[in-house]
Amino acid sequence: MRGFVWLDKPVLGNDVKDKDTLPSIKISSNVTSKFKYTNKDGHPSAIRISRIVSETVRLGLEDVSYALAKALEKMQDRCIERYPDLYGSDDRIQACMAELGVPLTKEVGFHQFDVYGNLFGLLAAHPIAPIVSLHHLDVVEPIFPYVDRAQALERLKVSMKLDSAGLMQQSICYDKAENWTVSVSWGYAVQIFQSIVSARKMEIIQKTFLNWYKHADDYTAFAFNTRAFRRNSCLKPSVYMLSNALYNPSLNRTASEYFRYLTPGSKCKEGRAGPLRVEVYKKPDPYVWDKAPRRQCCKILPSEKNNTMVVDVGNCGEDEIIAL
C-alpha cells in the first residue's frame, strides 16, 4: 500500500483489531505551540494537519516528486505564521498556494464534506467523476437509514467491491407510461419523481444538509449549485436505498436491489404509489474513466414481479439522449 496515515498519537495495540491490516502510520510533529492560532471557532490542530505536506516531503521518499509539494515544504512554516486567523488546515494550504501563485484545482471526486446532517442530496447526484474519498463522516448522519455509521459503510462496500468505477454514478431515465423520472445513484440509492424532470435539473444537488458554518448564506456558502429538497410528501421523490448487490460472472453483470425508504408522514393521497422495490442491472466497466466522461443511460425494463421496477444501466447508445 502506498502512502501513510498521519496521526497525532500512536494507536495502542489493545484499541484496534487486525492492526496488521492498517496502512503504515506516521506521527505528526506536535509543534502547534510554535504557531499562533486566533480563530475562536476552530482548533490549533489544523496547523498540525496542514504541516503533513511538509513532513511527507521531508521523509525523502522517491514517490514524493511533485513540484508544488516541494515548494510548499520550503516556505510553509513561514507562511503559516502569517495566517493565525484562518480556520482549518485546507485554508492554510490554499493561503500558501496563493503566495506561490498556484491556483487551487477542484477535483470533484474528493469530498471534504464540510457540512452537517444528511448527505443524501450530495451522494444521490454525484458529479461525473470517480468517487475518491469521503471525509468528516463522524459528524454527519449514517449514509443509510436504520444503521450506524460503520454498518452503513459496510453496506456501501458491497457495491464498491463489485464496481468501484461506477459507485454512486447517477443515471437518469423516464418511465413514459407512468410519467415518472427515475434517478439511479448506482450502489447507493434510486429516486422516483412522479413528474418529468429535466436532466439539467436532476443533476443539481438537493440540499438535504446544513452548512458547516451555521450562519452562512445558503446561496453562496457552497462550491456547487443546490436545489430545495421538497418536504411536501406529494412533491418529494420516492427514495429507495441499497439493500444488496451481487455479481453474475457468466453474464458479467451486477444486480443491485433497493427497497423503498418510508419516512413518517410520507404518504401522499395524490398520484399513483410507486413500487416497493427496484432492481438495477449493470455491467461493470473498469476502464470507464479512461474515456471521455459521460453519464451512463438507463432504461425501464418490463417486470414480472409485483411492486418491482427493473432498470438497466449502461453506456448510452448512438444518438441516445437523456430526455423523452
The 10s digit of each residue's pLDDT in 189-203 is 999 999 999 999 999
* pLDDT digit string, tens, across residues 49-63: 888 888 888 877 665
Q: Tell me which of 10 and 157 has the higher pLDDT.
A: 157
93, exposed or middle or buried, with CB in 10 Å at 0-12, 13-18, 19+?
buried
SS3 state at 53: helix
The winner for highest mean pLDDT among 159-168, 218-227, 258-267, 315-324 is 159-168
What pLDDT score does 24 carry? 81
Q: How far apart are CA 238 and CA 262, in angstroms?
A: 8
Please report, for residues 61, 252, 313, the alpha-carbon distance to residue 51 in angstroms, rounded to integers and kept in the order given: 17, 45, 44
Question: Which residue(s) pair with 52 in the sheet?
Answer: none
In which band, very low, low, confident or very high, does the pLDDT at 30 lie, cut at 50, 70 and 90? confident
DSSP state of 88: S
User: How far out from the chain centre does Cα 286 lie?
Assistant: 19
Question: Which residue(s) pair with 280 in the sheet?
Answer: 256, 311
Say if CB 222 and CB 244 are below 8 A apart.
Answer: no
64 pLDDT more than 60: no
**Could you give phi then psi for residue 249, rounded to 5 degrees?**
-65, -30
* pLDDT digit string, tens, across residues 240-285: 999 999 999 999 999 999 999 987 656 666 666 789 999 999 999 9
Q: How many CB atoms lie within 10 A of CB 90?
A: 15
* pLDDT digit string, tens, across residues 143-170: 999 999 999 999 999 999 999 999 999 9
Residue recorded with cell 494537519: 49
Domain spans in the chain, listed from the N-terminal domain onward: 5-100, 110-314
* pLDDT digit string, tens, across residues 101-152: 988 777 776 766 678 899 999 999 999 999 988 878 888 999 999 999 999 9
What pLDDT score does 298 carry? 96
% of the chain beyond a pLDDT of 70:
88
The three grid cell numbers given for residue 27, joined into one nine-digit string? 506521527
Please report, for residues 34, 48, 125, 192, 275, the alpha-carbon distance to residue 295 in angstroms, rounded to integers and kept in the order given: 49, 39, 11, 18, 25
Residues in the chain: 324
Closest of 197, 184, 186 to residue 230, by C-alpha: 197
Give buried/exposed letters for 159-179 (b at 16+ CB in 10 A, else e): bbebbeebbbbbbbbbbeebe
pTM recorded for the entire structure: 0.83
% of the chain beyond a pLDDT of 90:
51
Say if CB 67 and CB 37 are below 8 A apart.
Answer: no
Average pLDDT over residues 205-229: 79
The winner for highest mean pLDDT among 4-8, 19-23, 210-214, 219-223 is 4-8
**Amino acid letter for position 243:** S
What pLDDT score does 226 carry? 87
Question: Which residue(s) pair with 277 in the sheet?
Answer: 259, 308
Q: How far apart are CA 18 and CA 21, in angstroms?
A: 6
Strands (E), 188-250: 189-193, 205-207, 209-211, 226-228, 238-248
Q: How far apart are CA 96 and CA 136, in angstroms?
A: 23
Q: How far apart are CA 148 and CA 145, in angstroms?
A: 8
Please report, for residues 127, 175, 201, the alpha-carbon distance to residue 170 in angstroms, rounded to integers and kept in the order given: 8, 16, 13
